[in-house]
């Protein structure tokens, strides 16, 4: 059983293509490429290799260098820049208010930002993928942001970095690692505490269960019963063929775990990106609960109806979504391997530093109990890549144990925003640490909901949350501008 990747918008079920699905028609947005170093941390001949890193700038509303006007910088995550530009609204929505320069940077190994000349070479094996990690990505962002400041002759324009999900983690870490470059950070839906050394009491699937049960207890009960029914049908002669027809799978099932992975991903995506009306838990549960007037609907018919409600009517449904993974999928699966029911039998091809111990624990009552197993996880990585993941490296390098104690004196100017209906919120910073390390949470919010494009139908709590975030950022900028004047610092 699998979970959605740490993305700002739902892409796993759609198996997002590497090419943009939507062109952003914005004449004010200019694309650039920066000649980036392959390795920022060694001085071997190979480390001086370079690659072209893509970024975009919108200067339409910027007040200019003479006013030390701010820069809002979006730090890309495990997605193409095209997808981010289509989804992210926080910068465009607030750029005019702040009179800010807007900068969007694509993460190395995603979209068109490929070292070694091509995706085929960059994603080939552990030798080339070894340069894909968070520390290198942060150094990339530092180099580009300093380049942008030099390009626009704006030495004292304060930079606010913004990111969501994995990108939210990067934004928080960037502020802590590069405080001389970023004045502050907005870290949206960033599960900074979801690691072995900071593992949350309740896990991802606890929230999935809680949200679905709160939406419809009947739906919850039917999903809970469906796992045994799937196993019962699979055990029949030609049982897997029966299930393949039942769920209109594009390829024959290899085992009952194929369909279980598929369904659990649907429930997780519906909860994580619960943004109605179509892509919502309510839509899935209404389909499962629905009583047809003229015929009796079987349990697995109802479960399949829930899948169709989320994915739409298709000629067939791909239950093995990573049989032909996109380049973005391949890169992310190297960065963040997830333990699944299937990995107990056939390991996923991934492995490095973002090791999140996500499993099905006993309190996750909607799912069969399958706790996270680090031994199985490590063995799968060694089998596929010949490397061992480093489950303690993130907490060692970024130091997020005892976050309240350490950051109270060390950190400043970070907003940690979370929707408590987002399963990843269990690993988020949910309480204020100090006056300028602020946690903003909402009971109903989903994953990264505060930084996506705003719309007329946004609920009042979301409008208020976004307004609170921008007022905090304005206060950081105002204090910074006062400090410039007090110290008599000119441009």
Residues carrying an active site annotation: 165, 422, 447
Q: What Å distances lie between residue 157 and 70, 168, 201, 414, 477, CA to CA?
A: 5, 22, 41, 18, 9
CA–CA gap between residue 413 and residue 401 (Å, rounded): 19
CA–CA gap between residue 72 and residue 70 (Å, rounded): 7
Q: What is the DSSP letter of 194?
A: -
Q: What is the DSSP letter of 296?
A: P
CA–CA gap between residue 203 and residue 114 (Å, rounded): 34
- Cβ pair 265, 3 in contact under 8 A: yes
What string of DSSP letters covers 332-358?
HHHH-----TGGGTS--S--SS-----
Q: What is the DSSP letter of 298?
A: P
- Any idea how long the chain is? 491
The DSSP H or E segment spanning 273 is none
CA–CA gap between residue 308 and residue 98 (Å, rounded): 43
Structure tokens at 97: 């208010």
CA–CA gap between residue 420 and residue 312 (Å, rounded): 27
- In terms of C-beta distances under 8 Å and separation of at least 24 residues, what long-range contacts does 367-370 make, across chains too? 367/1, 367/205, 367/209, 367/227, 367/264, 368/227, 368/260, 370/1, 370/341, 370/344
CA–CA gap between residue 212 and residue 217 (Å, rounded): 7
Please, where are the H alpha helices in 216-326? Answer: 217-234, 239-246, 256-272, 281-289, 299-311
* Phi, psi for residue 356 in degrees, rounded to 5: -100, 120
Query: Which of 2, 164, 181, 150 lies closest to 78, judged by CA?
Result: 164
Q: Which residues contact 16 (CB under 8 A, 6 or more apart)?
A: 79, 83, 326, 328
| 405: helix, strand or coil | helix
Q: What Å distances lie between residue 28 and 61, 92, 104, CA to CA?
A: 10, 11, 13
Query: Which of 171, 152, 245 lies closest to 8, judged by CA?
Result: 171
């Amino acid at each position: 059983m699998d979970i959605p990747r740490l993305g700002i918008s739902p892409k796993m079920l759609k198996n997002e293509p590497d090419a943009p699905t939507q062109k952003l028609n914005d004449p004010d947005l200019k694309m650039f490429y920066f000649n980036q170093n392959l390795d920022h941390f060694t001085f071997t001949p190979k480390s001086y290799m370079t690659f072209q890193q893509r970024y975009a700038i919108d200067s339409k509303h910027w007040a200019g260098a003479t006013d030390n006007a701010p820069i809002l910088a979006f730090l890309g995550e495990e997605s193409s820049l095209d997808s981010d530009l289509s989804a992210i609204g926080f910068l465009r929505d607030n750029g005019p208010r702040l009179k800010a320069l807007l900068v969007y940077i694509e993460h190395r190994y995603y979209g068109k930002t490929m070292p070694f000349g091509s995706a085929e070479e960059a994603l080939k094996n552990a030798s080339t993928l070894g340069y894909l990690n968070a520390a290198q990505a942060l150094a990339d962002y530092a180099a580009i942001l300093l380049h942008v400041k030099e390009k626009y002759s704006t030495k004292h324009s304060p930079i606010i970095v913004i990111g969501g999900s994995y990108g939210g983690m990067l934004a928080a870490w960037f502020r802590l690692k590069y405080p001389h470059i970023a004045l502050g950070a907005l870290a949206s839906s960033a599960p900074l505490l979801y690691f072995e050394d900071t593992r949350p009491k309740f896990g991802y699937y606890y929230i999935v269960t809680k949200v679905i049960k709160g939406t419809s207890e009947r739906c919850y009960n039917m999903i809970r019963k469906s796992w045994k029914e799937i196993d019962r049908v699979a055990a029949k002669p030609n049982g897997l063929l029966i299930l393949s027809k039942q769920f209109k799978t594009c390829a024959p099932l290899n085992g009952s775990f194929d369909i279980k992975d598929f369904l659990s991903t649907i429930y997780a995506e519906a909860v994580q990106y619960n943004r109605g009306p179509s892509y919502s838990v309510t839509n899935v549960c209404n389909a499962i609960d629905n009583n047809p007037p003229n015929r009796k609907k079987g349990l697995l018919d109802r479960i399949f109806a829930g899948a169709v409600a989320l994915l739409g009517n298709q000629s067939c449904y791909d239950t093995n979504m990573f049989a032909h993974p996109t380049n973005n999928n391949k890169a992310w699966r190297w960065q963040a391997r997830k333990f699944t029911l299937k990995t107990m039998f056939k390991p996923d091809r991934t492995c490095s530093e973002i090791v999140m111990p996500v499993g099905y624990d006993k309190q996750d009552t909607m799912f069969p109990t399958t706790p996270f197993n680090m031994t199985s996880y490590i063995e799968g990585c060694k089998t596929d890549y010949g490397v061992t993941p480093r489950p303690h490296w993130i907490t060692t390098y970024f130091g997020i144990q005892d976050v309240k104690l350490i950051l109270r004196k060390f950190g400043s100017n970070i907003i940690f925003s979370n929707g408590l209906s987002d399963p990843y919120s269990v690993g988020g910073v949910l309480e204020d640490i100090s006056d300028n390390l602020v946690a903003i949470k909402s009971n109903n919010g989903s994953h990264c909901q505060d930084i996506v494009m705003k719309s007329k139908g946004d609920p009042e709590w979301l409008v208020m949350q976004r307004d609170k975030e921008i007022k905090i950022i304005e206060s950081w900028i105002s204090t910074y501008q006062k400090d410039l004047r007090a110290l008599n610092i000119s441009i």
